[in-house]
Amino acid sequence: MKHIYLNLKRFDVPVEFGGVNRLAPIPEWAAHIVTRTQEGLKQYDPARVEFVQFFPEAHLLQAVAARTDDSPVQIGSQGIYRDNTAPGGNFGAFTTNRPASIVRALGCEAVLIGHCEERGDKKGILAEAGVTDAAAVNRLLNKEVKCAVSAGLNVVYCIGETQEEQPQWEAVLGEQLSVGLADVDRSRVVIAYEPVWSIGPGKTPADKDYITKIARFVKEQTGGMDVVYGGGLKADNAAMLASIAEIDGGLIALTRFQGEIGFYPEEYLEIVRLYLETSGK
């Protein structure tokens, strides 16, 4: 099974407010993306590839409502809280937080957990409290994964090493896997590898040999779990990533990196085509 994930981050922010949204007004943004992509994705065999689109929470209802009955698009949430509602227990005291139960109730099938931006946020909060234990972030994420799986959500669990951590990448990634997935039903989890050290303007992207090395390591550590490339599936690396047998898909975010940068549905469909045609799907 191949997995193509679309993480729309905060691409809903209009240009006049410092964002990259040139697609549609906020009340129509999610529906615009779903309706402009779902027909083009129907040509692919759902038994061989799945498509999940992760939206900021404000857009989840709109995205779910825009799907047709035969849509291949699954809708995902960009994270959940580490505790959940429960019959006879906490029924809603989660001000500012997003329990897995509401994500399911909104119509989502999946959740993104451990993205490098989430890891960085948790690390920063813990540092303010004087916590320097590197495993603390992984323990918090483990709670999130457990809540998601218990609620019936599929999980994309992100791992990755920073530039400072790269010399110890085996230990760093190994801990993210062992702690983050401890006592988890892994049948509902796909691993996304983010080479944090290579992501961003002016940085050298991870090459095929490095990505292959990491993907093999992850499969060895997890007993063969599916691994997707989270460093950005793009038009210019789609063929390379498709040629790596150990890689089972990828995360797409921005589709245009020059000029009017941002996410564009037609360019997303082209990236999907380039990747899946090369991988034989």
* Encoded tokens for 8: 């729309």
112-128 in b/e form (b: 16+ CB < 10 A) is: bbbbbebbeebbeebee
Structure confidence at residue 63 as a pLDDT band (50, 70, 90): very high
- Please give the mean pLDDT across all residues of the chain: 97
Which pLDDT belongs to residue 269? Answer: 98
**Cα–Cα distance, 215 to 195 (Å, whole number):** 11
Instruction: Note the pLDDT of residue 175.
Output: 98
Confidence of residue 118 (pLDDT cuts 50, 70, 90): very high
Confidence of residue 229 (pLDDT cuts 50, 70, 90): very high
Catalytic choice (50, 118, 144, 194):
194
Mean pLDDT on 23-45: 98
Judge whether 1 lies within some domain: no
The pLDDT assigned to 194 comes to: 98
Instruction: Say whether pTM exceeds 0.85.
Output: yes
**Catalytic entry in 50, 115, 118, 161:** 115
Query: For every residue of 201-219, which 3-state class applies, written as one string?
Result: CCCCCCCHHHHHHHHHHHH
**Which residues neighbour 3 within 8 Å (Cβ) at sequence distance 6 or greater?**
49, 50, 52, 156, 190, 226, 228, 248, 249, 250
Which pLDDT value is given to residue 203? Answer: 87
Q: pLDDT tens for residues 235-254?
A: 999 999 999 999 999 999 99
Confidence of residue 7 (pLDDT cuts 50, 70, 90): very high
CATH number for the domain harbouring residue 271: 3.20.20.70
Q: Quote the pLDDT of residue 281.
A: 60
Domain that holds residue 227: 6-279
Q: Is 194 annotated as catalytic?
A: yes
Q: Residues of the chain with pLDDT > 90: what percent?
A: 96
- As for how many domains the chain has, the answer is 1
Cα first-last separation, the chain = 9
155 within 8 A of 188, measured Cβ to Cβ:
yes
Structural domain contains residue 51: yes
Q: Are 174 and 221 in contact (CB under 8 A)?
A: yes
Q: Say yes or no to pLDDT of 64 above 70.
A: yes
pLDDT tens for 165-220 read 999 999 999 999 999 999 999 999 999 999 999 998 788 899 999 999 999 999 99
